[in-house]
A and B are shown apart, each in its own frame.
Chain A
C-alpha cells in the first residue's frame, strides 16, 4: 500500500532521494539531509500521504560497517550486493538518522533514513512538525550526539549534565562509568 508513497517521493524529490526499498512490508526511503525537511512537510501535509502519527526517531551507528553503503552513486540504485536497507545509505556516512512515520488516515507507514557523516552529525529538527519528536530527538541527541538544528530545547534527557560523550555510540567504551558520587570506604 505504501508503494504509492515511495512512488510519489520518487516523482517529487528524485534528486534528494538516495535509495528506496521495500522488504517484508517495510518501506524505507534513504534521503539526503537537505531534503529531509521538505519531504517531511510533504508527508505530513499532503492529503494522500497524511502521516499524522510520529512513531519514533532514533539513530544507528554503523561504525565499521560503512562499507555496506553503495559506492558513489546518488541515484536511487538500491544495493547491488547487499539486501536493501543495510548500511547507512551513503558511502562516507557513519550514522543513519531514522524516522518512522505512520498514517492513521490511510494506514500506511514509512521509514526515513538520513545518512550522516562522522564529522558533521547535524540534522534539521522535525519537532515543530510533529511535537512528539521533541523528546525523541532529545534522546537521539543524548545517546548518539546528533545535533538537531532548530530544536526548541536540545538538552540531554536520560543522562545527567555532567556526563561526557554519547553512550550508545559504538566507540563509547562498554563499561566506562562516570559516577556522580562515591563513598569513602572508611566505615568498616
Chain B
C-alpha cells in the first residue's frame, strides 16, 4: 500500500515535470505551418508553457504536432515518425485537415491523422487562431498531469500486464 502511494506520487511528480517541458516535433505539411510559426514566435510565444523548443528529430521529442493535411501517401511516414518517438508521447492534430481531413473529401487526403496514430488533442480551425493552439496546449498539459494521454494509458496497461503475468 505504502509503495503504491509512493509510486503514484512519483508518477505525479514526473508528469508535473513533463507537462512544463513538452518538446515539440512539428510535422508541418501545409499552410497551417504559418500559424504554427506565429504561435512559436514572440507574440504568442508557446515558451510561456514550456513548449518552445522544436526538435527536428522525433527521437528527441515527446509532442508530435501534426500541422496540416495528411495524405494517404504520407500515412506510413507519419506512422514511422510516431513510432520513432520515445514514450511517453503526445499528439496534437493542428487544424481541421489533420483532425478530420477538412474539406478534402477525395481520393488523396486521409480523413484525419487519427486514422494512423492516436491523437490526444484536436484543434479545429482553418487555420486555428494562435489562442486556440495555446488552449490546446493547456488542455494537453492537464491531460499529461492526469496521466490520460494515449501513450501514458498504454504504458500503464502494459506495466499492469507485466506485473500480473
Which residues of A approach B to under 8 Å, CB–CB? 158-160, 167, 172, 174-183, 187-188
Contacts and interface: CB of A to CB of B under 8 A. Distances in A.
Given A159-B73, A160-B73, A179-B72, A187 B153 contact: yes
Given A179-B110, A187-B153, 12 more contacts: A167-B107, A174-B106, A175-B105, A177-B72, A178-B72, A180-B76, A181-B76, A183-B79, A183-B115, A183-B116, A183-B117, A187-B150
Contacts of A172: 107
B88 interface: no
Contact of B118 (A174, A179, A187): A187
Given A179-B75, A180-B75, A174 B105 contact: yes
Given A187-B150, A188-B118, A188-B150, A180 B106 contact: no
A172 B105 CA distance: 13
11 contacts: A158-B108, A159-B73, A159-B108, A167-B107, A175-B107, A177-B110, A179-B115, A180-B75, A183-B79, A183-B114, A183-B115
Q: Which of A158, A172, A177 has the most chain B CB within a 10 Å cutoff?
A: A177
B143 to A, nearest CB: 13
B14 to A, nearest CB: 21
Q: Which of A159, A175, A180 has the most chain B CB within a 10 Å cutoff?
A: A180
A159 B111 CA distance: 17
Nearest to A173: B107
Interface in B35-78: 72-73, 75-76
Contacts of A176: 107
Interface of B: 72-73, 75-76, 79, 105-108, 110-111, 114-118, 150, 153-154
Contacts of A178: 72, 107
Contacts of B150: 187-188
A177 B118 contact: no
A167 B110 CA distance: 15
B107 A187 contact: no
A136 B110 CA distance: 25
Given A172-B107, A176-B107, A187-B154, A182 B72 contact: no
Contact of B106 (A175, A179, A181): A175
Contacts of B110: 177, 179
B118 A160 contact: no
B8 to A, nearest CB: 22
B116 to A, nearest CB: 5
